[in-house]
Structure 1
Amino acid sequence: MKQIKFGPTDEQVAAIILGCMRIDAAEQPVEALETAFDAGINFFDHADMYADGECESIFAKSLKQTSIKRDDLFIQTKCGIIQGVMFDFSKEHIIKAVEGSLKRLDTDYVDSLLLHRPDTLVEPEEVAAAFSQLEKQGKVRHFGVSNQRPGQIELLKKYVEQPLVANQLQFGLKHTEMIDQGFYANMHHEMSIDHDGGILEYSRLHDMTIQAWSPYQYGHFEGIFLGNAKFPELNQRLEELAEKYHTTPTGMASAWILRHPAKMQMIAGTMNLQRIKEIAAASEINITREEWYSLYQAAGNILP
């Protein structure tokens, strides 16, 4: 399993994260955890909102049925979304959310806590107070954000004492907005529109690890592009390269993300045992520059 440096810390973490958003629907949750761990994936991502917390509970119950030790895992959770109601980055909510996650995960601490989606009513002093309390109590080791722009991160950094080590952002072959505008800089073209404030370059400059979520999705949760008849050119090229590298299109789409020099992590949200193995193995594949660009263009992008 490929390892990367986790933000500005000295920790090396797995390049592949197993996202546990769908573990509540998994037929073999115990086997999924064991398969991931045996393949080198020891980083697990949660959120307090996933199935109203049930995913965290299932994870903890499943983990107890394995021989995997808690200290050998990197467990991350997220908070701040009250589904369908509001976002909440208040100190009270952050503390309460973490306490709930710790109870459901049956652990004394999480290795990483991310703020899940920006809260425009954020009072960064409250975030700072919550983070400091949680760190002092030994309940959270590292802190970060999810889906945030550079300005939002800088606002938090003005008050928060701890480094913000990671940012979860959607990225994949059919979600390339992070890189599109860079190609079309200084051009009067719709692809030059900066949707995120240059978050890719900001992350590299500030040693924040990008965690790519929903890497196989297209559109606004419209579905998976892999094997989809809507994208024949992309799937043909994925098949060709998969054959060359003795992997699958899923593995090749994963390798495309990990080839980027930003040294991203990629969140695999599958509970399918075979796909977990394919994705884990793909972390070791290093495609060429020409192959990377050929996939980018096969996905429907045109180089200026």
Structure 2
Amino acid sequence: MSLSTVSTATAVEEQEHLLLPPPYYLRLADFIGIWSFKAAIAFSLRLRRTFTRRPEHLLKPEVKAYSIRPLLKNRIFRPRGSENQRLPLYLDLHGGGWAVADPETDDEFCSFLAQNYNSIVVSVDYRKSPSYKFPCAVTDVVAITDAVLTDESLGIDDSRVAMGGFSSGGNLAFAACQNKLIRDRIHALVGFYPGLDLAESLEDKLSHRPKEAGKDILKSSVNLLARAYVPYGTNRKDPLLSPIYAQRENLPASAYLVGAEYDMLCHEANRMAEALTDIQWEREFEQNGWRQGGIKWECARAKNHAFTHITTSGRKETDRTKFVSELYDRVGVWLQQEAWG
């Protein structure tokens, strides 16, 4: 099924996918719920950063704000000894349900990609819900991307530019790149377990999970986060909100999508990969995935949402770290071959 086919909806269907205001008591419950969630995550991040030493192997980023969004602090990673080189660019968008976290959350990935794949990586900041609702985060990403691409001090090779993100950050990457200001300047997309279809119900998302998957970690928060981000009356099939309904010509030719098998969002990421493919290319099957033309799909088996960031302990953590490092390597190789080749 093509993206243009997916995006065709009748007026009745669009009406059915509008977010309508709930009763006042539920709005109050949402208000308390989202701000409690934000406070808990902020406290957890502050605690971890206060009592955990920053790994020595991580690059030290430059923190920079642009006049177009002066309050947003972006983190710029550059490989050591590359000051006089023009390098490819990767724009990273962190996850957090559009409501929590910050660019520092992705330091491990950004440092890894910059140092091992000789690229400039900019972890882009954006304003959070519920104070700033859709499409505020999308417009922030577009504005900062434009500022980065026109920043001569960075030494970017603007013929080799990719954008990607984790979870809601993946959603923002696939949404922002449709904007005319940056559309033709983004050459490839990467999505790690992204949410791409906000029109699909929670029940339908859960129905796609394997029976052995156990409890989904997003089940209790996904609707709350969506209501905090999306204004009432918004059509949930808007391609800037649900990029799976975007026109194919508005997205780059190359994309790498990674789903987590036990994640309720895995199915829609797979659907997106399928919709992006071109029938003139023969599909090449790989371990846990496939590639067709410039599109690559990978399913992280027996993994849950946010497996790249949620740490454990002991042998499980050793295995997780190894798996994530190998995944990042595959993404880096793909970027070199597809986006920057």
Report TM bin, short chain: 0.3 to 0.5
| TM-score, structure 2 as length reference | 0.35
TM-score (norm 1): 0.38
